Amino acid sequence: MRNRRANRHLRASGFTLLEIVIAVTVLAVFLLPMMLIVANAKTRAIRYTQQREVRDLAQRKLFDRIHYYETSDSGTFTLEGRPDWQWQIDSPEMVGGSEQVLLEYTIKVRLPQKLEGDVSAKSGDDNKEGSTYQMSLWTFPSNIWYEEQELIYESGGYSPLYGSRFDEGDPYR
């Protein structure tokens, strides 16, 4: 009789295999969705950070170009640590009439990787996956821009502000 009591006492102190299987199953049912949520949150954070970085670099480059710190119309972000990111700024488009003029500057940033909500899915002729980020900025022209337009017009070129010196009705023709 004493041996039976000892055996019962030994069995009662441990878990059965069924209890362990149920505990692991319940734990897995709650942990797996939590791990997926954390992984998705990390992915979204990385994408958001990258989109913010692209936007910030594009804004800085536009500012530099508008204020003539940057003289080139295209290049890479090598100095900023992104040598594989390319940028291009189109010539400014004149918006408005002769008294109130605004300039619209547009920058395109080409990335080798794909961003969510990108403008285009392909990055050129090599058919690699990539993205293009584009943004525009409107600003009043500076005195330097007016001087450039006057020089272009004086030299016989076409100026969006003055037109062409050799248009019909031009007395200097």
> Domain range for residue 53?
32-141
pTM passes above 0.95: no
Residue 73 lies in a domain: yes
Q: What tokens appear for 92 in the block?
A: 């400014």
Residue 75 lies in a domain: yes
Q: Which residue has the higher pLDDT, 160 or 91?
A: 91
At residue 122 the predicted structure's pLDDT band, cuts being 50, 70 and 90, is very low
Residue 52 lies in a domain: yes
Residue 75 buriedness (CB in 10 A; 0-12 / 13-18 / 19+): middle
Residue 54 lies in a domain: yes
Residue 165 lies in a domain: no
- CA–CA gap between residue 87 and residue 73 (Å, rounded): 8
Residue 127 confidence (pLDDT) above 50: no
Residue 16 lies in a domain: no
Number of domains present in the structure of the chain: 1
For residue 66, what pLDDT is reported?
A: 87
Residue 115 lies in a domain: yes
Of the listed ranges 34-38, 60-64, 90-94, 127-131, the one predicted with least confidence: 127-131
Percent of the chain with pLDDT over 90: 43
For residue 126, what pLDDT is reported?
A: 47
Residue 150 lies in a domain: no
Average pLDDT of the segment spanning 147-169 = 79
For residue 6, what pLDDT is reported?
A: 57
Average pLDDT of the segment spanning 73-84 = 92
DSSP secondary structure string, 119-153? Answer: S-SB-STT--B-EEEEEEEEEPPPHHHHHHHHHHH
